[in-house]
Each structure stands twice: as structure tokens, then as C-alpha cells.
Amino acid sequence: MRGIFSEQKGRRFVETLREKFIGLNYLIIHRGSEIPWDTIPRGMGIIVAVFSEIRAWKGGASPWLLRQIKCLSDRAVLFISFGSPYLLEGLTPKILAYWDSEPAQESVASLLLRLLK
């Protein structure tokens, strides 16, 4: 299982998952960079966790973020939004956490661990 995270905000999420999945691989994609497809084996179960802070006065989500989500839409087995639920509109399956606090990250990771048993 490999997770792809935007920014460093997902640290607690990864730590909680690693308690059960010691060999968990993850990749952090920073704003402006591209997905290194050559490092992600085909057929791997990719869980995409998006940590976003959408500000109305900034015009919504960046085109870069929307492009990355679209690129991942046919390879991801699950999307998780720690922020705006609208980023994942039309995508399934998904988990919407609405906030990126550590308790929210722990709750989503615990739910994911129960689902993967």
C-alpha cells in the first residue's frame, strides 16, 4: 500500500497507519511538483490523502491540485480529503474528514485500519 500526501500535514496520519503497516510506503507531493509515476508500480493500491486549505478569497483550489487529483483518479483505490469535500466531487470511494487536525487524522487512519482487516 502506498499513500501520496500533499505537504507535511499528514504526519500523524502516516504514523498511525505505520503502527499496523510497518512497511507502509508513502510519497509527499509538494505544490508545483509532478507525480513521479516511474516510482509507483502499476497495480499498487494507492490511497490518496489530500490536505488542503481552500480559501474563498484566493479563488478556490489551485489548478495544480485539481490536475494531480485528476491524474490519480484512475489509479487510486481510495481518496481521503482532510479539507474541502468539493475537491473529491465525483470520485469514489472516498472519506471526507473536513479538517486536518491530529485527532481527525488518527480517526481516519483508525477507520482505514478497520476497513483493511
The domains of the chain are located at 2-115
6, pLDDT greater than 60: no
Report the chain's terminal Cα–Cα distance, integer Å: 13
22-72 pLDDT, tens digit each? 888 888 887 888 888 887 877 888 899 998 876 666 677 888 889 999 989
What average pLDDT is seen over the chain? 85
This prediction has a pTM of 0.85
pLDDT at 56: 65
- Give per-residue burial for 68-95: e unless 16+ CB within 10 Å, then b: bbeebeebbebbbbbbbeebbeebeebb
Provide the pLDDT for residue 1: 46
CA separation, residue 18 to residues 14, 65, 102 (Å): 6, 26, 15
Structure-model confidence comparison of residues 82 and 1, the more confident one: 82
Q: Which three cell numbers stand for residue 77?
A: 483505490
**Mean pLDDT within 6-18:** 82
pLDDT for residue 8 is more than 70: no
**CB count in 10 Å sphere of residue 37:** 9
Domain 2-115 matching CATH 3.40.50.970: the answer reads no
